[in-house]
Structure 1
Amino acid sequence: MDFSIASILMLDGVTNGAIYALLGIATVLVFTVTRVIFIPQGEFVTYGALTLAILQTGKVPGTVWLLLILAALAAAMDGLAQWRRQHHLLASLKAVAKTLAVPAAVAAVTAWAAPMQAPLLVQAFLSICIVTAFGPLVYRVAFQSLADATPLVLLIVSVGVHFAMTGLGLLFFGAEGFRNPPFWDLRLALGPVSLTGQTLIIAVVSGALIVLLWLFFERSVYGKALRATAVNRLGARLMGISSPAAGQLTFAMAALIGALSGLLIGPTTTVFYDSGFLIGLKGFVAAVVAGLSSYPGALGGALFVGVVEAFGSFYASSFKEVIVFTIILPVLLWRSLNGDHSDEEH
């Protein structure tokens, strides 16, 4: 291997690592606030990329109908819960309307705009809105009623949600893969390395989103409320912070990060309905390197995973996935030997 090949592989590794960093940070965020090891994070990635691909064809993406079905189910659960608390019809209807408002508005705008062949940026924004709206609904339907369950139970539910979302992805998008057009057609030669506009966009957007997340958690009231929930869920509830609201906001942010990641990688690779599983697992490896607790650790772990994957694909392309996932073994061993093994429930 000479310097030119190493430079190309390093660029590919850092580019992929930037995507894995976003997914790793989303995984850490969801786990610290809700204790859910969210396996379907990668499905948000595929939903974002494939929703944009369907919008490119001028059709209404199937995620719109799935969003409405999920919203109706969540609204029925909210209405029933409100009725059990107050036995008041008007309050129950208000709860139903509150749950349906955002998904219905997003679905209506998308159904109106899809046949008009809007510009790429508008279609990308609609895709982000659709997938982001999934986040709170997934939490409400699958996890909110189990908020006090053990992490093992939440993990089992998370695996079930993953299989459900993968199957629904096959139903609504089909088995055919899609590759989206790049957002910027720039090509810049820097010695042996060819820098594309999409690579620059991935680096800039990933860096900007990480900075925005830091500002959100450090400067905003909602961010501090999520941090408080992550540190002590019971104490946060005693201080008036709603655990269901914190969980729904967390899942909305995870869905937003996933959708944005899907738009970023859509022009660089062909995305299939089940592509999110491997992508999400690599983000999960980055999160495990960080101990499922550190955002800077997730960033560093993701860049490491991306570089290992790039060089592994060069030396042994058939085993690149094995090489990446083997990283998790020494990390788990090290954390097992150095952890305090405290029981979270006590």
Structure 2
Amino acid sequence: MDSTIVLILLQDGVMNGAIYALLGLALVLVFVVTRVIFIPQGEFVAFGALTLAFMVNGRMPGTVNLLLIIGGLVFALECLSAIRHRNWNGMAKTFAWTLLLPLALYFLAPYVISKDTSLWINVLFSLALVIPLGPMLYRLVYQPVAEASVLVLLIISVAVHFALTGLALVFFGAEGWRTPPFIEGEIQLGSVSWTAQTFFVLGTCALLIVGLWIFFGKTLYGRALRATAVNRRGARLVGISTNMSGSLTFTLAAAIGALSGMLIAPVTTIYYDTGFLIGLKGFVAAIFGGLVSYPIAAGGALFVGILEAFSSFWASAYKEVIVFTLIIPVLLWRSFGSHHIEDEE
């Protein structure tokens, strides 16, 4: 192995690591706010990538119909809750984001979807289709059991993963898809040509991480999420709605997952179940930070991406085994370095 091969592998590893960093950050965010180990995070990667791929090829994505169905279920659940508690406050807002928004996107889709439509318009419309699935999923599945134990929430996440994978097969089919790169061209650095797409991915990831840092540090809603992450009961006592925090958290997780899928789709063929493996690698990165530390999770993601790239060169048949085996010593290290206390709940 010479220096040129090392630089090529490093390029692939850093780009994949940046995607895993975003997913790791999303997993940490969801866990610290809602105590949910969000295994279906990878499904939003697949939904985002496949929705964009369908639109780029002038085909109607299954997300259009899926959003209508799940939105209708959420609205029906809210109506039952309003009847049970005899409280109709907020139903207008619920109607707007669960029924009016999906219907508007459904009727707008035929005018937007075309092979001649700009890639950036397709990206924005794809995000509009996928992101609302996050808060809808939270309201439909997780909000009714928000106070359950972490183990119960984990089991529910496994069930949601299998359900979303099956829905992805139904609405997108088994065929693999790729999307065109956001930026064409190459940049010569020394003896290796780096694609412009690589720098676009790295720049987008950096901007998104900085944006999240500003959101959590400078905005009211960001501080509310931080307060909920520190102490859920205390947040409720000072008037912060944990339901609002959970819904906002899942919205951010869906946005990060969908955008990550769109960034990786030009270099990786995406199938209906591809998101699971990508999400698991983000989970390995999150484990580096103990599901609570954002910087360590980001650093772990870069390490996972680089390890995967070099493993694919030396032992491509075992690269997944090498990456996922890494979680064992990390768990042992974190176990020896943590203080165990009894869980009162």
TM-score, normalised with respect to structure 2? 0.96
Task: Confirm or deny that 1:271 pairs with 2:270.
Answer: yes
**Residue equivalent to 2:248:** 249
Q: State the secondary structure of the residue aligned to 1:218.
A: helix
Unaligned runs of 5+ in 1: none
Asked whether the 8 Å contact 2:36–2:154 carries over to 1, the reply is yes
Task: State the Cα distance separating 1:10 from its structure 2 match.
Answer: 1.2
**Residue equivalent to 2:55:** 55
**Residue equivalent to 1:30:** 30
**Residue equivalent to 2:132:** 133
Task: State the Cα distance separating 1:87 from its structure 2 match.
Answer: 5.8
Asked whether the 8 Å contact 1:52–1:124 carries over to 2, the reply is yes
- For 1:264-323, what per-residue CA distance to the aligned partner results, in whole angstroms no more than 9, with x for missing partners? 001011111110010000000000011000111111010010011111111111100011
User: Structure 2 vs 1, CA of residues 107 and 231 (structure 1 numbering), >3 Å: closer, same or farther?
Assistant: farther
Give the distance between the partners of 1:79 and 1:191, measured in 2 at CA.
Answer: 62
Give the distance between the partners of 1:87 and 1:205, measured in 2 at CA.
Answer: 43
Pairwise mapping of residues 188-207 of structure 1 onto structure 2 (< 5 A)?
188-207=187-206
Asked whether the 8 Å contact 1:67–1:130 carries over to 2, the reply is yes
Q: Number of matched residues?
A: 345
Q: State the secondary structure of the residue aligned to 1:4.
A: helix
Task: State the Cα distance separating 1:135 from its structure 2 match.
Answer: 0.4
Give the distance between the partners of 2:344 and 2:138, measured in 1 at CA.
Answer: 22
Q: State the secondary structure of the residue aligned to 2:188.
A: strand
Question: Letter of the aligned partner of 2:3 in structure 1?
Answer: F
Task: State the Cα distance separating 1:9 from its structure 2 match.
Answer: 1.1
Question: Letter of the aligned partner of 1:61 in structure 2?
Answer: P
Q: State the secondary structure of the residue aligned to 2:194.
A: strand
**Residue equivalent to 2:316:** 317
User: Structure 2 vs 1, CA of residues 299 and 76 (structure 1 numbering), >3 Å: closer, same or farther?
Assistant: same
**Residue equivalent to 1:240:** 239
Pairwise mapping of residues 1-346 of structure 1 onto structure 2 (< 5 A)?
1-86=1-86, 95-115=94-114, 117-345=116-344
Task: State the Cα distance separating 1:192 from its structure 2 match.
Answer: 2.7
Give the distance between the partners of 1:252 and 1:87, measured in 2 at CA.
Answer: 25
Asked whether the 8 Å contact 1:80–1:92 carries over to 2, the reply is no
User: Structure 2 vs 1, CA of residues 46 and 95 (structure 1 numbering), >3 Å: closer, same or farther?
Assistant: closer
- For 1:31-90, what per-residue CA distance to the aligned partner results, in whole angstroms no more than 9, with x for missing partners? 0000000001111011111001111222221111001100000011111111211266x8
Task: State the Cα distance separating 1:106 from its structure 2 match.
Answer: 3.2
Q: State the secondary structure of the residue aligned to 2:132.
A: helix
TM-score, normalised with respect to structure 1? 0.96
User: Structure 2 vs 1, CA of residues 344 and 193 (structure 1 numbering), >3 Å: closer, same or farther?
Assistant: farther
Asked whether the 8 Å contact 2:56–2:114 carries over to 1, the reply is no
Task: State the Cα distance separating 1:108 from its structure 2 match.
Answer: 3.2
Task: State the Cα distance separating 1:189 from its structure 2 match.
Answer: 2.2
Asked whether the 8 Å contact 1:83–1:91 carries over to 2, the reply is no
Asked whether the 8 Å contact 1:74–1:140 carries over to 2, the reply is yes
- For 1:131-167, what per-residue CA distance to the aligned partner results, in whole angstroms no more than 9, with x for missing partners? 1111000101110000000011101110111101111
Task: State the Cα distance separating 1:92 from its structure 2 match.
Answer: 5.2
Asked whether the 8 Å contact 2:68–2:103 carries over to 1, the reply is yes
Give the distance between the partners of 1:245 and 1:341, measured in 2 at CA.
Answer: 31
Percent identity over the alignment is 57
User: Structure 2 vs 1, CA of residues 238 and 106 (structure 1 numbering), >3 Å: closer, same or farther?
Assistant: farther
Q: State the secondary structure of the residue aligned to 2:117.
A: coil
User: Structure 2 vs 1, CA of residues 241 and 111 (structure 1 numbering), >3 Å: closer, same or farther?
Assistant: farther
**Cα RMSD (Å):** 1.6
Q: State the secondary structure of the residue aligned to 1:140.
A: helix
Unaligned runs of 5+ in 2: none
Give the distance between the partners of 1:229 and 1:344, measured in 2 at CA.
Answer: 18
Task: Judge which range, 235-244 or 92-101, deviates more.
Answer: 92-101
Asked whether the 8 Å contact 1:8–1:192 carries over to 2, the reply is no
Give the distance between the partners of 1:27 and 1:253, measured in 2 at CA.
Answer: 10
Give the distance between the partners of 1:166 and 1:319, measured in 2 at CA.
Answer: 24
Give the distance between the partners of 1:290 and 1:87, measured in 2 at CA.
Answer: 42
